[in-house]
Amino acid sequence: MTINRRHFLGALAGTAASLALPRQALQAQEAEPELPGGTFWGTVPVADADAPMVQGEPVAIARSGILPLIPRALAALDKHSAVIAVRDKIGIVDFSQPSRQARFHIVDLVGGTASTPLLVAHGKGSDPANCGMAQHFSNLVDSEASSRGSYVTGELYYGKHGRSRRLIGLDPDNDRALERGIVIHAASYVSPAVVAAQGRVGRSQGCFAVNPREITQVLETLGPGRLLFATS
């Protein structure tokens, strides 16, 4: 079935608006200083930076290692605010890290915390030598490469990889994502066991493939109308 991207984005924006946080919640702590990357950061409470770290539990953004990428992600959130109306949680994928590293971060902007990072694959076309590093990026159909940029999360569906979520690219570097079938899905080649065996996870065809044990967490936390920001 052919998907009309403009119609889909319009419908998604309406859905996202109905899911958006109450305005008064987003205006909390207005007196907090604003950091680079957009006005939304000023509304985010900072989690207790002195709290002990517990494996598997969220940690304060300042202690998570993802802090340097937050301003860029927030700038993307503001830039695409007409489409991304649900601003409580965002996903950040850092393709500058090798695939053996957990580089998929889910950030709770309201709570000021980041999840334990997850393993995620990059595309074969981004790593033709299969060295574990994404070295090339492409928006071309059949490139099997990853694309950088801002995505808005779309609908759930069941495909050949099971339960998956569609992604709509919002930037010139990734605006063919829907046409290319770039989605979030599970894959058996993404796991700590695969990393232990070969020093890297497997490669996708450009999709954000995650560990099957973590797919439910990702799909439910990054529901429709939220930002997924991929960078390198």
* Block residue for tokens 């339960």: 163
The one-character DSSP state at 123 is B
Q: Taking phi first (over 0 means left), then psi (-120 to 50 degrees means alpha), and beta for anything else, what does residue 203 get?
A: beta
Torsion of CA 130, 132, 136, 137, to 10 degrees: 110
Alpha-carbon gap, residue 201 to 191, rounded angstroms: 7
Total tally of structural domains belonging to the chain: 1
List the CATH number of the domain containing 157.
2.40.440.10
- Amino acid identity for residue 40 in this structure: F
The whole-angstrom separation of Cα 86 and Cα 17 is 7
Q: What averages of pLDDT result for each successive group of 10 residues across the chain (232 residues)?
A: 50 47 37 35 42 60 90 97 95 98 97 95 98 98 98 97 98 98 98 98 98 97 97 96
pTM: 0.81
pLDDT value at position 51?
47
- The whole-number pLDDT of residue 222 equals 97
Domain span at residue 192 reads: 5-48+57-231
Question: Is 200 in contact with 176 (CB distance < 8 Å)?
Answer: no
Res 127: pLDDT? 98
What pLDDT, on the 0 to 100 scale, is given for residue 204?
98
231: which residues sit within 8 A by CB, 6+ positions away? 69, 72, 92, 93, 94, 95, 96, 148
* Residue among 166, 141, 170, 149 at smallest CA distance from 232: 149
pLDDT at 64: 83
pLDDT of residue 63: 84
